[in-house]
Amino acid sequence: MAALLNFPGDDEIRLRGMFCSHFMDSSLFLSLAPTVDVCYSSWKRSRVTAPSIIGEELMKTAPLLKKQLTCCSIDALPDECLFEILRRLPRSQERSIAACVSKRWLMLLSNIQPSEDMDVVQKGENLLRSSRKPLPDLNYPEPLVSELNSSIESGGYITRCLEAEEATDVRLAAIAVSNSSRGGIGKLKIRGGNSTCKVTDAGLSAIGRGCPLLRVLSIWKVPLITDAGLAAIADGCPLLENLDLCQCPLISDKGLIAIAQKCPNLTSLTIDSCSSICNDGLQALGHGCSKLISISIKDCPLVGDKGVSSLVAHASSSIMKIKLQNVNISDVTLAVIGHYGKAVTNISLNALQNVSERGFWVMGNALNLVNLTSCTISCCPGATDRGLEAIAKGCPRLKMMCIKRSPNLSDAGLKSFTGPAKMLERLQLEECNGITLVGVFESLLNCCSRFRGLALVKCLGIKDISCHLEELPTCMSLKYLTIRDCPGFTSCSLSMVGKLCPSLQQIDLTRLVGVTDAGILPLLECSQSELVKVNLEGCVSLSDASISSLVKAHGSSLKFLSLKGCKGITDRSLLSISANCSVLKDLDVSCCSISDFGVAAIASAKQLNLRTLSLAGCAEVTKKSLSFLEKMKESLEGLNLQQCKLINTHVVGSFEEKLWWCDILS
C-alpha cells in the first residue's frame, strides 16, 4: 500500500474512493461519508495534511464535488434547516447577535413562533422541575436599568416610532427580535408615506410573533399592508388595546373581524380614510370588543348606518367617545346614539350631509345622553334651531358646546339652546353667520351662573348695533372671551362688552382691525377683575395709549401679552411694560415698531422674568439687542429672532452658544 501511494513509512493513511482537498473541514467530511472511507491506527497520529495527498488531476475528475466544496458555508443550507438551527439558540442575547449576521438570518429569527421557541419550552420545563431561583449567568449580564428605562414610557410601555424611510420590514423584524426577551414592545407607531413606505405584511407579522405584549398599534399611510398583516397582529397580540388605522387602502373587513375575534381588550379604535372597510368589520367589533371606550371613523365612504349603529348598540355599556366625520350615515345612527348612549361623554359630528334636523331632534329627545358633557357639531346641514334645543333638553350635564359652519342656526335657536343648558360652561360659534350680536347678548344673559367662556370666530353676522349701555344688565360669570376674525365688530361693540362682562380674565381680539383705543379704554375702565391673558394680535389700529393703560391697570396680574402685528406699538409700550408688569411670562411684539431701546428697557427690568420673547419681523432691532438679551439668560427659555434683517446669522450663532439652553429661532 505504501508503494502504491508513494508514501514511505508505516504511519500511512489508507483511503478508498474520492478525495477531499479540505480534509480538516469536518462538516464536509461528514457530508462525504458514503463515498470516503478513512482508516488509521488508533495509536498513531496522522502526519499527513490534505494538500499532500490531493492532486489537481483528481479534482478535475470531480467538478461537482469541487463546486460543493467551495461553498462550505452555513448559508448553503435551505431555509428549513437554518430555521431549525436558529430556533434552538438558548438565549435571547444570542438570537440578537445572530440577527446581525444577515437579513436572511434576521427574517428567519423573526418567523419563530412562540410555540416553536425552544428557549421558551426549556424555561417551562425547568420551571416545572424546580422552583428554586437560578444563579445569574455572569457571561450574559442583564441590560443596565438605565438602558431599559431609556425606551420605556411613563405608562410602562416600550415604544418605537418608525417614520418614512425608516419604516421597513427589516426594521420591524429587528425590533421584534431584539425586544423578544422582554415580551416585545408595547407601543408601535408606523408613519409611512404612499411613495416611500416599504412595510408589508411580513414586517407586521414579525411584530405579531415577537411582541405578545403589544397594546398600542398606529399605522399611518402604509399602502402595502393587507388583512393578512392585521390578522397576524390579532393572532400574536391578544392584549391589543388601541388600534389606529389611517390611509391603509388594502385593509378591509377581514382584518377587523380578526381583531374582533382575538383582541377582546380593545378599548380605542380609529379608522381614517380606509376605503375598503365596510359595515361587516364594525359589526364584528361591536360583538367581540365589549370594552370599547372610544371610536373615531373618518372619511370611510363604505361605512353606513348598519356598521356604526351595530357598533354603538353592542358596546353601549362602555363606549364614552364617538367621533364621526364624512361617513354615509343618516338619522338612524343618531337615533341609535341617543337611545344607547348612556355612557357617552363626548360626541363629535362633522360633515354628515345625510343627517337632517330630525336626526338631531330624535337624538336629543331620546333622553338617554345623560352623561354627555362635550358636543361638537360641524358642517352639518341638519343642525338647526329645533335640533339644538332638543340636545340642550336631553343632555342635562352638557358643559361644552362647539358649533361650526352651521348657517341654519339663528339668534332664536341660540337663545332656546342656552336656556335649558343649566350646566353649560363654554360655547364656541365658528362661521355661524346667522348669529348676530343681539342674539349673543341675549344668550349671555340667558346662561346659567356656571357659564365661563364664549368664543366667536369668523361670524360675519357679528356687527355693531345701536343700543344704550344702561339697558344692558351684566353677566358676572363670563371669564374668557374670544372674538376673532369678525370684521364687523368694532370699538363701539367692544365698549358694550366691557359693560356687559366686567369679570373678564382672558381676552382674545385677534385680527379685529376695527378695534381702536376708543374701545379698549372703556373695556379696561369697566373691568372689575384682574386680566391674566390678553391677545391683541393683528389689531393694527391700536396705539401705545391702550397698552400703557392696560399694563398700569393689570400689570400685577398679566402673564401673557401678544401684540403681534400691531404696527402702532413702539418703544413706549415696552417702557410701560418694564415699569408696571411684574409676573409677565410670555411677550410677543413681532412686527411691531420697536427698536434696540425698547429691548434694552425690557431686559433691564429687574422684576421681569420673561420665559418667552418674540421679536420676529422687527426691522429696527439690530445686533446691539443681543447684549441686552444676554442679561435675561436666567429666565429666558424661548427667543424668536426670525426675519430680523439687521441681525446676521453669524452673530446669532455665537449668541446661541452663550444661551445654549434657550430655544432660539433665527
Pick the more confident residue, 280 or 467. 280
Alpha-carbon span 290 to 318, nearest angstrom: 7
196 vs 224, which has greater pLDDT?
224
Write out pLDDT tens, residues 342-359: 999 999 999 999 999 999
In this prediction, residue 473 carries a pLDDT of 74
DSSP letter at 152?
B
Cα of 662 vs its chain's centroid, Å = 25
What is the per-residue pLDDT for 95?
61
Residue that has been written with the C-alpha cell 348669529 in this structure: 435
C-beta of residue 377 within 8 angstroms of C-beta of residue 346:
no
Residue 647 confidence class, pLDDT cut points 50, 70, 90: confident
- 317 bridge partner residues: none
The overall average pLDDT reported for the chain is 81
Cβ contact 492:464 at 8 Å = yes
pLDDT band per the 50, 70, 90 thresholds, residue 97: low
pLDDT for 150 equals: 34
**Has residue 119 got a pLDDT over 60?**
no
Per-residue pLDDT at 341 exceeds 60? yes
In this predicted structure, the answer to whether residue 294 has a pLDDT above a threshold of 50 is: yes
Burial category of 431 from C-beta neighbours within 10 Å (exposed 0-12, middle 13-18, buried 19 and up): middle
- pLDDT tens, 511-551? 999 999 999 999 998 888 999 999 999 999 999 999 999 99
**Spatial contact of 331 and 304, defined as CB atoms under 8 Å apart:** no
Is the CB of residue 382 less than 8 Å from the CB of residue 357? yes
The pLDDT assigned to 303 comes to: 96
Q: 25-39, 80-94, 169-183: which has the minimum mean pLDDT?
A: 25-39
pLDDT computed for residue 102 by the predictor = 64
> HSE (CB half, 13 Å, CA atoms) of 414?
27
Q: Looking at residue 28, what is its pLDDT? A: 36
| Euclidean distance between CA atoms 580 and 551, whole angstroms | 6
Max avg pLDDT among 67-76, 207-216, 235-244, 622-631: 235-244
| Structure confidence at residue 590 (pLDDT) | 96
- Amino acid at site 510: T
Q: Which of 185-194, 464-473, 601-610, 623-632 has the lowest mean pLDDT?
A: 464-473
Contacts for 614 with CB less than 8 Å, ≥ 6 apart: 564, 587, 588, 589, 590, 639, 640
**Cα(629)–Cα(645) distance, integer angstroms:** 17
For residues 206 and 132, the model is more confident at: 206
Q: How far is CA 438 from the centre of its chain?
A: 41
Q: Please tell me the distance from the alpha carbon of residue 422 to that of residue 433, in angstroms, as a whole number.
A: 25
Contacts of 291 (CB under 8 A, 6+ apart): 264, 265, 266, 267, 318
d(CA 47, CA 66): 24
Chain-centroid distance, C-alpha 218: 9
Report which DSSP code applies to 180.
Answer: G
Q: What is the DSSP string of 40-69?
A: --TT------GGGT--HHHHHT-HHHHHHH
Q: What is the per-residue pLDDT for 503?
A: 93
Res. 84: pLDDT tops 80: no
Measured in degrees and rounded to the nearest 5, phi and psi for residue 39 equal -130, 140
List the domain boundaries for the chain.
79-111, 526-665
Residue 47's pLDDT is what? 38
CA–centroid distance for 194 within its chain? 19
The mean-pLDDT minimum among 74-83, 108-117, 206-215, 427-436 falls in 108-117
* Three cell numbers, residue 58: 483528481
Q: What is the pLDDT of residue 112?
A: 64
Which CATH code fits 526-665? 3.80.10.10
Q: What is the pLDDT of residues 556-614, one digit of tens each?
A: 999 999 999 999 999 999 999 999 999 999 999 999 999 999 999 999 998 999 999 99
pLDDT at residue 404 is higher than 70: yes
6 has pLDDT over 70: no
3-state secondary structure of 418: helix
In the predicted structure, residue 295 carries a pLDDT above the cut 90: yes
Which whole number is the average pLDDT over 27-49?
Answer: 38
Residue 652: per-residue pLDDT: 72
Residue 577: its H or E element: helix 571-580
pLDDT band at 68 (very low <50, low <70, confident <90, very high): low
Q: Write out the DSSP string of 197-217.
A: ----HHHHHHHHHH-TT--EE
SS3 content of the chain, % helix, strand, coil (to 5): 40, 15, 45
| Mean pLDDT confidence for 612-632 | 90
pLDDT for the residue numbered 467: 58
* 271 has pLDDT over 90: yes
Say which residue, 434 or 77, is predicted with more confidence: 434
- Assign 598 to helix, strand or coil: helix
Residue 39: pLDDT band (50, 70, 90) is very low
Pairing of strands 242-246, 268-272: parallel
For residue 579 the three cell numbers come to 415699569
Model pLDDT for residues 444-484, shown as the tens digit of each residue: 888 888 999 999 999 999 998 865 545 567 888 999 999 99
The share of the chain scoring above pLDDT 90, in percent, equals 56
What are the angstrom distances between the C-alpha of 241 and each of 1, 18, 235, 448, 454?
77, 63, 14, 39, 36
Residue 317 CA to residue 335 CA, distance in Å, equals 17
- Residue 5: all three cell numbers together: 501511494
